[in-house]
Structure 1
């Protein structure tokens, strides 16, 4: 039985990638519209087989628009955790890991595009179905759902961390209930996110991804500027006491506050660092770079589409995000060094809650992430509907129930999981690892029939698959061990 998203014409693509949408004699649309991949992906689930056998969409997105859209898909809250990753790996090791993850992500995009051409499907879940039947579809669907839940959680963490600071800046109070992050997350979820999420069509919210990208660019500019405005070491009591304590323990005879430069302990950058938190670096990076569920829908929308052209789109997008990630991580780390927190924006609350520029950044980021949560929830709900009630008619009761359960579960994660570090780490090691490493290589090995298992391409994909399992299992094991050690230490501390 053919699946709803099967596209038989894709099998006619030539290996040299010179084929494009004009080869099929379809008339191009005159208007180039921005592509909202979440809504497109959802609607594709409901269209049925006839759509793809009789009404082929030649694609209308230009190269530049596709680069922008893919940049939107890559960029997210993950950028806020990269300075913390650099602080726990050192500058040199972080750059090596950043380059490696970017290259691996691009290679997996290459595998996905080639598999889509050979397998005749432009939806991640359908490639899974074609490759391994229902288990493959479930693996892809569950990985995408987990990744999106992680993204939702990270956005709500930003609300939990940043909204109290904004309210404190305007009210001057610190002990009222309305500056408690847990209460504010629930309040925002019920009054703003839930009503937007209940809408049947979220098309007009698709442009919030562009707003989010602009906010992150603004955030990056402020991070760079603040590096040259914020003194080091931080002039707060905790940092000063920590530095003085280290000095007393190690160089007591030299203790002379008027003569000793103690800034080297906390401000000198490290180039290679290995500690208990280093294990979070790779999951943080994979979480930041994962965009693979969006690749295939954007490929379909690309004007004059060819695999080579889409790979070029990915190359430019990944390069731009690589530069942004490196700058954000570097300048955030150089500003706070060992005192950087897993969520970089929150670290600036150590300086001045009333800083106007930082307040504007917080308001912009809060607006963007609040409006993005319904967009991220939309494909999760669609996936759940397809897995549980694919043959049933639309029901507002079911629609509302799934939305409320998903939002309530995500709020529970944000309230009860201690830090955003755990979300970045767990989702980056599990769902992001599956979407970047394991699933693209497994689908490629299974569906690309014209290459033998002894070919260089298949050997490379097999090695990539093995590497993915090593990275995922190793990261998950070390993260769980870190959680266990922290739990034991906290228990002994009490």
Structure 2
């Protein structure tokens, strides 16, 4: 059995004691939990993904990633049924042995670890602008310095919360995260209608496709990954059948896709080619509504960071030793993880590249490659025959996206204008086109 940890991009499985009771949920309840696990703060980078791929082609890619996510989640449960396993880890261990388990563990470490780096970058970008709305805090104030804000939030909030040994003491943040995400979505839609018309579109704003489309798929994969909680929600169903699970998956992924597409389009059409990895970097400092959105997003990030740290620490501790960590070991590993994440986020401040790397390096194999490989390993037919055809094609596509995405991110890193007021804000301030709220 496992405990559900709701984080920005998904719910993570953490082993529970054997005597823990398994809760049963209806299909509606399971669908809601699944939607919560998909939709999170990763949605903030989807407008940037459309900027990378082009609006029409980007939407098409987003739909394709949604369909592949839906298919691979069902494929994962099929593989579990064939192998008699009830978790992602045990499925991979059953099909590919210890080497496969080590690879999966590495990916499950990388995903939350890189996510924590992105959280710190976002905190530095977001809260500095929130603090600047405080009277007396200007661009030269220490509270407007991203390095200081990242260190401050780490020392005061994220590190102390990450040091908890019992994750239950952190409380349940799924509902809070969902509420904050809805608020952010509403803000982005409002500003698309009220502020977007004041910004002239870039020359290639409505191009069908752009060369960076592969990198966009990495960002989309990061936003949609939810496979690591699939077995938990499947097992919680009152009637855990493949038919019921397929229905829950279709409803959940479909709903998440609609919300994500709405957010992506609203954000991109507001700023077109100026859209950055963190959409709130595009809004002006004196925009009070956007400032409230930044505050909501910052709270969401701070409450999510410790959950990802918990997952990362568990992977490290499981690799180092099978026994429970002592208090000293627990504190040392936690502080080392947080220190490394903080150091990297202090040295690098471009969120878009971090999202691309995490999507290509960890999310893509977890969505495209591993579920398909497990199913093909367990299937008795040939790779490209019958129901094995789509999994085989997904492995090829996943490898192409992973390798090409990493190469393009390294060769063509996307720039960002962190902390720099966008040029259109000066015009908006002069003509008062950004109404205070």
Q: TM-score range by the shorter chain?
A: 0.7 to 0.9
Q: Counterpart of 1:343?
A: 278
Find 2:357's aligned residue among 426, 438, 441: 426
Q: Is the 8 A contact 1:113 1:296 kept in 2?
A: yes
**Distance in 2 between residues matched to 1:206 and 1:101, nearest whole Å:** 32
Which residue pairs with 2:240 in the alignment? Answer: 305
Deviations 1:260-308 (A, max 9, x none): xxx4x53884041324x44421111111111111111222222221222
C-alpha distance in 1 between matches for 2:99 and 2:173:
34
The Cα of 1:166 is off from its aligned counterpart by: 0.8
How does 1:229-244 map onto structure 2 within 5 Å?
Answer: 229-230=194-195, 232-234=197-199
CA contact (8 A) 1:36 1:206 kept: no
How far apart, in 2, do the equivalents of 1:206 and 1:121 lie? 29
Find the counterpart in structure 2 of residue 18 from structure 1. none
2:226 corresponds in structure 1 to 291
| Aligned-partner SS, 1:394 | coil
Contact 1:62-1:302 at 8 Å conserved across structures: yes
Show the 5 A alignment for 1:250-399: 263=200, 266=202, 269-275=205-211, 277-349=212-284, 353-390=285-322, 392-399=323-330
1:41 aligns with 2:13: yes
The change in CA–CA distance for 1:111 and 1:355 in structure 2 (over 3 A counts) is same
How far 1:333 moved relative to its partner? 1.3
Shift of 1:105: 1.0
2: CA distance, partners of 1:282 / 1:226? 26
Alignment of 1:218-233 (within 5 A): 218-230=183-195, 232-233=197-198
How far the C-alpha of 1:433 sits from its partner, in A, is 0.8
Alignment: residue pair count: 411
Q: Which runs of 4+ in 1 moved over 6 A?
A: 37-40
Change in CA separation of 1:295 and 1:206 when aligned onto 2, cut-off 3 Å: farther
3-state SS of 1:478 partner: helix
For the residue of structure 1 that corresponds to 2:195, the secondary structure is coil
The farther-off stretch of 161-170 and 208-217 is 208-217
Change (3 A) 1:293 1:206: farther
Cα–Cα, structure 1 residues 35 and 475, in superposed 2: closer, same or farther, change >3 Å? closer
Partners of 1:76 and 1:403 lie apart in 2 by 24
Is the CA contact (8 Å cut-off) linking 2:74 and 2:249 kept in structure 1? Answer: no
Unpaired segments ≥5 residues, structure 1: 7-33, 235-262, 487-494
Corresponding position of 2:128 = 164
Distance 2:54 2:353 in 1: 20
Q: In structure 1, the residue corresponding to 2:240 is in which secondary structure?
A: coil
Q: Is the 8 A contact 1:41 1:297 kept in 2?
A: yes
Out of 392, 396, 413, the position equivalent to 1:466 is 396
1:106 counterpart residue number: 70
Q: How big is the alpha-carbon RMSD for the aligned residues of Structure 1 and Structure 2?
A: 2.4
Residue of structure 1 in register with 2:348 after alignment? 417
Q: Distance in 2 between matches of 1:218 and 1:355?
A: 16
TM-score normalised by the chain length of structure 1: 0.78
Q: Quick check: 2:74–2:245 contact (8 Å CA) kept in 1?
A: no
